[in-house]
Amino acid sequence: MEDNYITGAEGFTQLKSKAIIDEVSKVVVGQYGFIEQMVVVLLSGGHILIEGVPGLAKTLAAKVMAKTIRAEFKRVQFTPDLMPADITGTKIYDSKLGGFYLKRGPLFTNIFLADEINRTPPKTQAALLESMEERAITIDGETNKLNEPFIVVATQNPVEYEGTYPLPEAQLDRFMMKLTVDYMPQKFENMMLEKCASGFNSHNIEDININTVCDFEDIQKCREEILKVEVNEGIINYITSIVRATRNSPSLVLGASPRASISILYAAKTIAAMQGRNFVMPEDIKEIAVPVLRHRIILKPEASIDGLRSDDAIINILNKVEVPR
């Protein structure tokens, strides 16, 4: 069994992922699982949709993670009057130069936080599609490549629905995971208040002692290691069986797409590497199936009336699909 575990220099992903998680957890207390899943998406090269009520450190977690990996971070508050050019940028005429130049928008960054993404109209939401899929932005027919790493972190409030625009399925499908953030246990809330009482201020993030534990070269090295993680035929069949079961479920109107299968595969390989293994186990699939699938399925109205949630439907499917040995 020892030959199946990554050792020595090959355990780079395990070391770096733990360093990022530990560093972010120094500031964002009581949300270890949430931070761990954010790192899974980062190393997998995906995007994150975060749902949670205000005040749960969603923005802070993204800011701190950017600092730990020496990445540029930009945040935009999405509002009903936000236009596509406000985030992508536009070409402006310069009379001195006698021509147009590109004024880059905030989307030209490494970690882009789209705060309350469902508050802006579909036209502006759609401006993110090309950047999320192609890692590029086309302005006036000119395609501009984005720098890696590039990750969109979008947040939405699960409570307020007035004045919001639900994300279309095509855009939801481009988020690798939808993470839900809940209130922290009381002991961690006590720890947070103790930090604040001793002078901690999340608004002055530059003054917080956050160590940079890796850069993009390190992330690239992690991704190369993740590619080498082995996935046998039984695991591949397990992934497709789960995703196909969502398409045939009597509780669902819409099942998950093939992109969901790919996301499960990549995330499972990343989890294996983060745990120091060079092979994927069924437990890895179970661990990330819910956050990868919950935003890609649509419940039937009668199922919702009966109190079934998307997470419940996925768990029911996981309990029914045969687990490979």
Same-domain check for residues 161 and 252: no
Boundary of a domain, candidates 185, 205, 225: 225
CATH number of residue 283's parent domain = 1.10.8.80
127 within some domain? yes
Burial letters for 257-280: b for 16+ Cβ neighbours within 10 Å, e otherwise?
beebbebbbbbbbbbbbbbebbeb
86 within some domain? no
What are the helix and strand counts (H, E) for the chain?
14, 11
Q: Is 254 exposed, middle or buried (0-12, 13-18, 19+ CB in 10 A)?
A: middle
Other beta carbons less than 10 A from residue 303's beta carbon: 19
Same-domain check for residues 190 and 238: no
Angstrom distance (rounded) from CA 173 to CA 175: 6
3-state DSSP assignment of residue 72: coil
Report residue 12 as tokens.
Answer: 């780079």
Angstrom distance (rounded) from CA 273 to CA 234: 19
Angstrom distance (rounded) from CA 44 to CA 161: 31
Report yes or no: 32 and 136 within 8 Å, Cβ to Cβ. Answer: no
Same-domain check for residues 273 and 204: no
CATH number of residue 66's parent domain = 3.40.50.300
Q: What is the pLDDT of residue 1?
A: 36
Q: Domain limits at 323?
A: 229-325
Same-domain check for residues 57 and 186: yes
Number of domains in the chain: 2
Same-domain check for residues 157 and 135: yes
Same-domain check for residues 179 and 119: yes
Does the model's pTM come out above 0.95? no
Same-domain check for residues 246 and 201: no
Same-domain check for residues 122 and 194: yes
Q: What is the pLDDT along the chain (325 residues), one digit of tens a residue?
A: 334 444 444 589 999 999 999 999 988 988 999 999 999 999 999 999 999 888 888 889 999 999 999 999 999 999 999 999 999 998 888 877 778 788 999 999 999 999 999 888 888 888 898 999 999 998 888 899 998 899 999 998 876 666 678 888 888 999 999 999 988 889 989 988 988 898 877 777 776 788 999 999 999 999 999 999 999 999 999 999 999 999 999 999 999 999 999 999 999 999 999 999 999 999 999 999 999 999 999 999 998 888 889 999 999 999 999 999 8
